[in-house]
Structures are given as structure tokens and as C-alpha cells.
């Protein structure tokens, strides 16, 4: 167990810098190419140019997600962005009834193999399941540290940073999609209301 500092008053950049210094090559960053990852990728490119990120490919991502990924790779060429395959091995394809949650959780385990900590774009205002997120917390389910540098950021903070640095971002954000996942399970909506709309489900399992 490490001596854990209280990072709640620290800036997002300082939280990331601490994580990079403390965990080094054992740090991974989750990247779904949403607006929060635009911010994190830019910060990481400045703090740790060779940082490793990972994205999970379920095979049913929006075409815009794939295009945004290409923009990220062009804008941040020093970052390593690994793609972890979570496609349905049966070839049947994903539907809302046959959710990708299990496969995504398994892919996350693959992505985090050998890691000591992972960085996420979680923000407290995204919804009740994320309201208690701390900037550095223990992911007890996986035996890792979880780093949430943007935990106290508002939506306005995110957009202001993107504008200030002219960063690429997912174009579906301009069409009412605040949270973007797999195409079969995502509709326009504020917060996470567009994810699994009409169902009680609010998380795919990566952050539970």
C-alpha cells in the first residue's frame, strides 16, 4: 500500500502528473474519444508524451467515434493508443438486448493487465453513480488505483479547455449526445440519460 496524498484540491494537471510520477509504466488511461478524453489526451501529451491509452472496440461503435480516434492519433502522435477487441466472437452482432457489458468488462481486464492504476474521464456531475468519485481512489474490484483528474470539472470547464486548445472532439456532442457509447445503446440526452434510454441501467460495468 502506498502513502496516498489528498489530491482533492489539486488541479487536473497536477493529479495526472502525480499519477505519471507514482505509477510510471504501470499507468493506463481509458479512452472512448469523448470530450473528456480530448482534455486528458492533451494533458498527457504535455506531461508524459509516451503515455499509454486504450480504447475498447465492441464492433458497434459509431463511425464518428472511429473518425475521432483517427483525429486523436494525428493530433497526439507520441501517445500510444491501444485498441482492445471486445467484439462478439459469435459474429451475431450486438443489440440492446444482447448488451456488450460483459465483453467490455473482460476487455477492460485485458487492457489493465499488469497495470497499477488507470485514469478515467469520470466527472461527478455526470450522474448519481459518479457523484462520489474522488480524484484518487482505490478500485477494489480490480486491485488497482483509479485516477479521476476531471472529477470536479463541469461540462463548461471541459468545453472551455477544448476551445482554448483547439482540440479535436467527438462530433456527436454537437448533436445532443453528452455521453457516447455503442451505437445500439446510445441516444441523444443530457448527462448519461441517452445511455440505455428507457432502462434502469446506467453503467456498462466498467465503473461499478
Residue 99 belongs to some domain of the structure: yes
Mean pLDDT in each 10-residue stretch from start to end of the chain (208 residues)?
Answer: 81 98 97 97 97 92 96 98 85 61 82 96 90 95 96 97 98 90 76 54 46
Residue 51 belongs to some domain of the structure: yes
Coil, strand or helix at 190:
coil
CA distance 85 to 38: 22
> What residue numbers bound the domain in which 18 lies?
12-185
* pLDDT for res 182: 85
Q: How far is CA 186 from CA 54, 61, 158, 179, in A?
A: 21, 10, 21, 8
* pLDDT for res 98: 56
Q: Which residues pair with 81 in a beta bridge?
A: 53
Residue 202 belongs to some domain of the structure: no
Residue 59 belongs to some domain of the structure: yes
Residue 132 belongs to some domain of the structure: yes
Residue 205 belongs to some domain of the structure: no
Residue 177's φ and ψ, nearest 5 degrees, are: -95, 105
Element counts in the chain: helices (H) and strands (E): 5, 6
CATH of the domain at 17: 3.40.50.620
Residue 191 belongs to some domain of the structure: no
How many distinct structural domains can be found in the chain? 1
Q: What is the largest CA-CA distance in the chain?
A: 47
Catalytic residue IDs: 204
* pLDDT for res 204: 47
Residue 74 belongs to some domain of the structure: yes
Tell me the pTM: 0.86
* pLDDT for res 207: 42
Residue that the C-alpha cell 458497434 belongs to: 60
Amino acid at each position: 500500500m502506498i502513502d496516498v496524498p489528498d489530491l482533492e484540491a489539486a488541479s487536473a494537471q497536477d493529479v495526472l502528473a502525480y499519477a505519471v510520477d507514482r505509477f510510471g509504466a504501470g499507468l493506463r488511461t481509458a479512452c472512448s474519444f469523448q470530450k473528456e478524453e480530448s482534455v486528458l489526451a492533451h494533458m498527457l501529451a504535455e506531461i508524459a508524451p509516451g503515455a499509454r491509452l486504450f480504447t475498447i472496440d465492441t464492433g458497434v461503435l459509431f463511425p464518428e467515434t472511429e473518425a475521432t480516434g483517427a483525429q486523436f492519433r494525428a493530433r497526439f502522435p507520441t501517445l500510444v493508443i491501444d485498441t482492445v477487441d471486445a467484439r462478439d466472437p459469435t459474429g451475431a452482432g450486438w443489440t440492446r438486448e444482447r448488451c456488450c457489458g460483459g465483453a467490455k468488462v473482460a476487455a477492460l481486464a485485458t487492457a489493465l493487465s499488469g497495470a497499477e492504476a488507470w485514469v478515467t474521464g469520470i466527472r461527478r456531475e455526470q450522474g448519481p453513480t459518479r457523484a462520489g468519485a474522488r480524484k484518487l481512489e482505490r478500485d477494489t474490484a480490480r486491485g488497482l488505483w483509479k485516477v479521476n483528474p476531471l472529477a470536479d470539472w463541469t461540462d463548461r470547464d471541459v468545453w472551455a479547455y477544448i476551445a482554448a486548445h483547439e482540440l479535436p472532439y467527438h462530433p456527436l456532442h454537437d448533436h445532443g449526445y453528452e455521453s457516447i457509447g455503442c451505437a445500439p445503446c446510445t441516444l441523444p440526452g443530457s448527462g448519461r440519460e441517452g445511455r440505455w434510454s428507457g432502462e434502469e441501467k446506467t453503467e456498462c460495468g466498467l465503473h461499478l
